[in-house]
Amino acid sequence: MSKVFISGSISTKTLPNGVLESLKKIQNNNMTILVGDADGIDKVIQDHFKKNNYDNVHVYSIYSSPRYLSSKTFQKKFVNVALEITKERERQTYKDEAMSVDSDYSLVVWDGKSKGSHKNIIRALSLDKKVKVYLSNEDRFIEPKRINKNEIDFIFYENNGYSAKEVVDYLNNEGKEYFKNTRALNKFLIDKKIIEKQDEIYVPLKNQDLFIIEKYRGKISGIKFKNSFIDWLESTIDSKAKQVDLF
């Protein structure tokens, strides 16, 4: 019997029509549902199948009693986590990893930003599992041929942005060692009058569409870099530059 791991953002409170159609097919095919015990998508999925009198649902939890269990007819699956792992987010990751391994398919309802959902998609792909992704922020399924690591990473960073270190690491991984460190990248952008430092915070002076401007209580708290920033950077810097000594 095929098993499908269903996951998504904790902010999910309702299921779009497209996702409901997929859930109907899953139920009609008597597939085993693997789902977590958190709020958000986990709760919504459990409630959906309870409402539809479908009990072929396995609820995974790192606790002996799941944090949320919609129906007593659902099976409980305990995932053991080593005691030395104390950070809650890291502990919960073991539960997701277990469901990825145990499943044949993954259905992810993703807002394009959730780090956990991003990891679930990438992990499923690395395990060669079939993956279906619903982009809730665009109200559509991603075309199957576009569900690959590069496309999923592109969507994630377009919505979350890269840190300066992630930009430098990305370029180095591509064999483009323009900058030795983030200090060199920031200096280059300051010299080009793209950004400036105000009260210990970098802010864009121009080309603002290349950045995600982060705010806290209405004030700029920092910047992240979009995919378009990396394209701009590569086209701006001399392609023959191997080192950043001149920066």
Q: What angle do CA 40, 45, 48 make, to 5 degrees?
A: 125
The whole model's pTM is what?
0.86
**92 token code pair:** 């919960």
CB atoms within 10 A of CB 208: 12
Res 10: pLDDT:
87
Alpha-carbon distance of 59 to 49, in angstroms, equals 12
Model confidence pLDDT, tens digit, residues 177-194: 899 999 999 999 999 999
Least confident of 79-88, 149-158, 163-172: 79-88
Model confidence pLDDT, tens digit, residues 190-202: 999 999 999 889 9
| Interacting residues of 163 by C-beta distance below 8 A, sequence separation 6+ | 224, 225
Alpha-carbon distance of 105 to 186, in angstroms, equals 43
pLDDT bucket at 238, cuts 50 / 70 / 90: low
pLDDT at position 245 over 90: no
Res 1: pLDDT:
82
DSSP state of 146: G
Q: pLDDT > 70: what percent of the chain?
A: 96
pLDDT bucket at 85, cuts 50 / 70 / 90: confident
**3 token code pair:** 């098993």
CB atoms within 10 A of CB 205: 12
CA distances (Å), 47 to each of 17, 18, 189, in order? 16, 17, 50
pLDDT at position 150 over 90: yes
Res 142: pLDDT:
97
